[in-house]
Every structure is written in C-alpha cells, then in structure tokens.
Amino acid sequence: MADSIYVRQWFRKGDFEYSSAEFLFRHRPLPVDVICYLCQQAVEKWLKGFMIHNGIGEPPHTHELGWLCKMCTDG
C-alpha cells in the first residue's frame, strides 16, 4: 500500500478545494466559473489520491478527469 501520508495530502487538497467551492456557493452574485473550477480541481485531487492509495501508480500531470477516471477503473 502506498504511503498513507502522501495519500492524505492529496485528499486534504481535494477537501480544501471542495470546501472553498461550498463557501463561494453562498455568495451572490454566484461565481459559477470559480465554483466549477474548484470542484474540478477537488475531483482531480481525490482521483489522484485514489490512484496512489490503490497502487495504480504515480498520478500523471494532467487535469483531464475522463482520463483519470479511466485510469482508476482500469487499474
């Protein structure tokens, strides 16, 4: 199993970005573009943490969620 500290760092980054998006969701006018960006970034971090946790490999330097999802499901 991968280094749990390294995995936790990825998940914490994702959690922080998601909580930032939730915070911005309460503001008006609603900053939709920033909220969407933060949500995408959060999912990216969570997927990369999942990859490490499950021994799939070192996460690639990409922001492409479709590719990351495929890598996570193909293992």
The string of pLDDT tens digits covering residues 2-46 is: 578 999 999 999 999 999 999 999 999 999 999 999 999 999 999
Query: Cβ neighbours of residue 14 under 8 Å, at least 6 residues apart?
Result: 41, 42, 43, 44, 45, 46, 49
**Domain boundaries of the chain, sorted by first residue:** 4-74
The string of pLDDT tens digits covering residues 38-62 is: 999 999 999 999 999 999 989 999 9
- Give mean pLDDT, residues 60-67: 94
> Quick one: pLDDT at residue 65?
96
Q: Which token pair is 24?
A: 């911005």
pLDDT above 80 (res 1): no
| Percentage of the residues of the chain whose pLDDT score is greater than 70 | 96
pTM listed for this prediction: 0.90
- Here the contacts of 28-34 (C-beta below 8 Å, separation 24 or greater) are none
